[in-house]
Structure 1
Amino acid sequence: MSLFAFAGALETGFLFSLVALGVYISFRVLAFPDLTVDGSFPLGAAVGATAIVNGVDPFLATALAAMSGAAVGLITALLSVQFRIMNLLAGILSMVALFSINLRIMGRPNLPIYGRATVFDRFGELGDFGLWRNVIALALFAIAAKLLIDWFLKTEIGLALRASGENPAMAEAQGVNNAAMIYLGMAISNALVALAGALFAQTQGVADVSMGVGTIVTGLAALIIGEALLRRRAPFFGTLGCLVGALVYRLFIAATLSLGFIQAQDLNLVTAIVVAAAVILSQGRGLGIAKGGMARLLARRAGGRVNAASE
């Protein structure tokens, strides 16, 4: 593997670790199988690229992209909570609708931003990082997101969110508003995915309406590989597994491509095999936890703090 390919694998790995963190919030913490990801990823790219083309500061454009992802997450949660549409179908409906919405935002199937200032250009002004500019910048984004999630999941609201995902009935009995937790968790999850989409468009120099295809599978691959490697389900190790899994997955793909074992058109097949193998491995090592006991612990802590605060 060449140095350029290695740097590219790290760059993509750190970027998709943001997607994995979003998937971790929805799938693992909230227990909400969300397919909105395949639409919110290109949504972030579309909003970020459109804003940059129209002269908006790249950092503000990236923030707007994350906010658009949060809005879409709220819509998916609304379909599930308010209109009683099952979680999987709610995500599919949002994903399908976003294809047309993204076309409307960009006004075309793809929108180039070559020659426009990006967050990476601004970061490059701090020093001459050369080949590693994007890698370092994306590593900072990924680590910052991981640390923020770690902190959030230890707060009163974070404990309530975890309790709601583990056992909604137990959480509700302890005074947790499950509907509010679904709205919050889905907003955070899709904001992270849209953030990754905006950054991806800036690394590639173009936003494309079809760039979200397979995003959910890639995020799941990183999440499951990280869990299989770390074998711990505590939030700190869960978020760390997202970073480790994304890097390992992308390095594996880059290595196999450089050795000629697979071709670019085989990536989806390889991803499916890797995810299946990681799931089988994780089951064999007993990564499952006692959900009832964990839910009671989290619900009591969250409910106790909420009750104390109300008093």
Structure 2
Amino acid sequence: MEFYLTALIQGLCYCTLALGIYISMKIFNIPDITTDGSYTLGGAVTAVMLMHHQPVYVVLPVVVLAGAAAGALTGLIHTKLKINALLAGILVMTALYSVNLTIMGRSNLPLIGLSSLFTLANISNNPDLNTFWIAFIFILIATLKIDYLLKTDFGLAMRATGNSESMIRALGVNTDRMKIVGLALANALTALSGYLITQYQGFADISMGIGVVIMGLGSVIIAETLINWLRITSVWGSLALVLGGAILFQFVLAFTLSSGVDAIYLKAVTAIFVLLIVGLPRLTRRAA
């Protein structure tokens, strides 16, 4: 039971990552690879500031700003220099490896014995349940804020930019600015995931971001499949399914490990699982 509770907590910690990829991939139709670097950036900033005994409520806005700066840089390279969005993300992600290593000073930073977000309040006497409730409340607040933003006039303009860029540009909206802000928001959410995971696992590592874009993409694809199947049209419903996708993805990995599959094959299982999610709906439509 504790094994699956751990998977649930990890799924909650990856929820903001999934929300970030949902914004970049599904709202703006931009394949943003900056994710791998901004996730690690969030973890690196968190670890260094906690080691300098900064309170978590001070660390939080710094992490958000750092992630937003990384996303905005990708947006600027894409919109102002007219470089392909995928290449722009790869360039920023590559540069962030050096930035993250410079911030950390070494490849790994342990946080043993330091206070964290998950020790701020004592909701339950069970440490794992206490961590779950704090993570749940954090994710709920973050999701409500994103839901509110996407329903404002600014949020509607963001969504319209992804749906029909030429139409929204004809209405006088600066689409380049929308893309920059959108990528900044997406990577701020991604950095938040690094902020949560670093505190949960108790360390930050320079390679912690490798492959997280696949994890986030898998979560979003699960959500998209359910959105289409259930015919969800509300913003809140879509965001809730994205969160559910992130949690379900972690449960699949947990089940894989608990069934006796060697951990060295976990990345292969992840890739196969994402492939199945992407391929099955298409095969089903073709068979019909």
- Is the structural similarity TM-score above 0.5? yes
Taking the aligned partners of 1:217 and 1:47, their CA distance within structure 2 comes to 23
Secondary structure of 2:109's match? strand
Match of 1:167 in 2: 164
Q: Which runs of 5+ in 1 are unaligned?
A: 287-311
Match of 2:81 in 1: 83
Deviation at 1:129, TM superposition (A): 4.1
Deviation at 1:233, TM superposition (A): 5.5
Deviation at 1:4, TM superposition (A): 1.5
Report 1:241-260 matches (<5 A).
241-260=241-260
Name which of 96, 99, 102 aligns with 1:101: 99
Match of 2:46 in 1: 48
Taking the aligned partners of 2:199 and 2:53, their CA distance within structure 1 comes to 14
Deviation at 1:132, TM superposition (A): 1.0
Q: TM-score of the superposition, structure 2-length normalised?
A: 0.94
Secondary structure of 1:153's match? helix
Taking the aligned partners of 2:281 and 2:186, their CA distance within structure 1 comes to 23
Match of 1:150 in 2: 147
Deviation at 1:285, TM superposition (A): 6.7
Give percent identity, aligned residues only. Answer: 39
Secondary structure of 2:106's match? coil
Taking the aligned partners of 1:247 and 1:219, their CA distance within structure 2 comes to 11
Cα distance per residue 1:86-136 (max 9 Å; x no partner): 100000001000000001001111111111111111133x55343212211
Match of 1:290 in 2: none
Cα distance per residue 1:244-296 (max 9 Å; x no partner): 11111111111121111x2211121111111111112344577xxxxxxxxxx
Taking the aligned partners of 2:148 and 2:201, their CA distance within structure 1 comes to 31
Match of 2:12 in 1: 14
CA contact (8 A) 1:24 1:238 kept: no
Report 1:1-311 matches (<5 A).
3-124=1-122, 126-231=123-228, 232=231, 234=233, 235-260=235-260, 262-283=261-282
Taking the aligned partners of 2:56 and 2:284, their CA distance within structure 1 comes to 44
CA contact (8 A) 2:6 2:128 kept: no
How many residues are paired up? Answer: 282
CA contact (8 A) 1:35 1:91 kept: yes
Cα distance per residue 1:204-248 (max 9 Å; x no partner): 111111000001000001111122234246332321121111111
Secondary structure of 1:207's match? strand
Taking the aligned partners of 1:10 and 1:90, their CA distance within structure 2 comes to 33
Query: 2:127 corresponds to which letter in structure 1?
Result: G
Change (3 A) 1:174 1:285: farther
Secondary structure of 2:121's match? helix
Taking the aligned partners of 1:252 and 1:51, their CA distance within structure 2 comes to 33
Secondary structure of 1:123's match? coil
Secondary structure of 1:143's match? helix
- Structure 1 runs, 4 residues or longer, greater than 2 Å off: 126-131, 229-238, 280-286
Taking the aligned partners of 1:117 and 1:256, their CA distance within structure 2 comes to 32
Taking the aligned partners of 1:143 and 1:227, their CA distance within structure 2 comes to 20
Taking the aligned partners of 1:135 and 1:283, their CA distance within structure 2 comes to 36
CA contact (8 A) 1:22 1:189 kept: yes
Q: Which runs of 5+ in 2 are unaligned?
A: none
Secondary structure of 2:14's match? helix
Match of 1:294 in 2: none
CA contact (8 A) 1:227 1:233 kept: no
Taking the aligned partners of 1:282 and 1:254, their CA distance within structure 2 comes to 24
Match of 1:306 in 2: none
Change (3 A) 1:150 1:86: same
Query: 2:152 corresponds to which letter in structure 1?
Result: T
